[in-house]
Amino acid sequence: MRLTVSISCLDILRDGPIEGIETHHEARERPDGETDQILTGCTASSPAAVREAVRRTVIENFSDFTQQRFVFVRAN
């Protein structure tokens, strides 16, 4: 089965950092003059980090997966 899903950095980092996941931030100034660091993305540097990110995504979005229509296709 092949499942294509967008993996959100917010979803995977909600329970804390993952070893091998590097986050990318951008500084944005608020109207009051303060600066916030906004998460703009993340990069996995190892297969173990990718597996953990996918595991967390599945756990976080499990209800979305159960509402998908799956079709079994077999080779002839």
Amino acid at 61: N
Domains of the chain: which residue ranges?
9-66
According to the model, what pLDDT value does residue 29 have?
A: 92
Mapping DSSP to helix (H, G, I), strand (E, B) and coil, where does residue 6 land? coil
Residues near 25 by beta carbon (within 8 Å), at least 6 away in sequence: 37, 38, 39, 40
The overall pTM is greater than 0.85: no
Query: 6: burial class by Cβ within 10 Å (0-12, 13-18, 19+)?
Result: exposed
- The answer, yes or no, to whether residue 3 has pLDDT greater than 70, is no
Cα–Cα distances (Å) from 3 to 30, 44, 47, 53, 61, in that order, read 39, 19, 18, 15, 13
According to the model, what pLDDT value does residue 11 have?
A: 81
Rounded-to-integer distance, Cα 12 and Cα 35, Å: 24
Give 23-65 pLDDT, tens digit per residue. Answer: 999 999 999 999 999 999 999 999 999 999 888 888 777 776 6
